[in-house]
């Protein structure tokens, strides 16, 4: 069950990611009826953009702009990761490749647990920055976060990434132990998408064909 977002017009929106997990989560949360929701992996020749920025915002904008210009459609991109207080915000933008290339979720989790072995402060937050870009390359960003703490051992089999280690505040289960509906109500990505509707609803429901001019 998504956020109850139901848009009735027909437009093409490209999700600028090759990560199927992210696409599935966005589809589940974003109930975009009447919108042709495409993923970068579904567009022949779509660029696989290198995420070399030093902030989530820079990476999200870079991906959204590249896919919007390539496809000629509005494009939505996100960059997200885990920020751990005791590690000064690491792994941050390096979350997916924390343990190196290629991406290995289990190796990332092992490295994180090793880094926190002697730390009493286990507080952390997931952060997601969404960028929306028009075909000309103009873009805007929003941010969503979910705070919690890191366990000493992994629990659960669902989700991906650091989900088996992360317990959100107010809960006693990890993201991996939650069903998809529960996670999609409180996750950083859900909160970013809620903010996206508040900020860009006029574009996504067809009332505007450009970003509003700031007052």
Element (H, E) at 78: strand 74-84
Number of other residues whose CB lies within 10 A of the CB of residue 167? 20
Active site annotation includes 121: no
Cα 89 to Cα 125: distance, rounded to the nearest angstrom? 9
Phi-psi region of 103 (alpha: psi -120 to 50; beta: other; left: phi over 0): beta
- Peptide linkage before 83 cis (omega within 30 of 0): no
Which phi and psi (to 5°) does residue 161 adopt?
Answer: 65, -130
Active-site residue, from 36, 48, 79, 104: 79
Angle at 107 between CA 192 and CA 101, to 5 degrees: 80
Q: Which residues are designated catalytic? A: 79
């Amino acid at each position: 069950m998504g956020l109850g977002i139901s848009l009735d017009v027909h437009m093409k929106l490209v999700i600028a990611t090759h990560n199927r997990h992210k696409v599935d989560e966005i589809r589940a949360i974003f109930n975009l009826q009447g919108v042709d929701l495409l993923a970068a992996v579904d567009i022949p020749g779509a660029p696989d953009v290198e995420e070399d920025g030093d902030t989530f915002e820079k990476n999200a904008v870079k991906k959204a702009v590249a896919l919007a210009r390539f496809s000629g459609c509005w494009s939505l991109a996100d960059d997200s990761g885990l920020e751990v207080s005791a590690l000064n915000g690491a792994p941050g933008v390096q979350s997916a490749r924390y343990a190196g290339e290629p991406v290995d979720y289990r190796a990332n989790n092992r490295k994180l647990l090793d880094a926190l072995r002697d730390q009493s402060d286990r507080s952390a937050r997931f952060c997601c920055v969404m960028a929306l870009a028009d075909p000309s390359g103009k873009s805007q960003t929003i941010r969503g976060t979910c705070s919690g703490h890191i366990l000493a051992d992994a629990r659960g089999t669902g989700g991906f990434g650091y989900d088996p280690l992360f317990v959100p505040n107010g809960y006693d289960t990890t993201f991996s132990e939650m069903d998809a509906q529960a996670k999609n109500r409180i996750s950083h990505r859900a909160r970013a998408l809620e903010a996206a509707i508040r900020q860009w609803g006029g574009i996504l429901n067809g009332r505007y064909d450009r970003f509003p001019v700031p007052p």
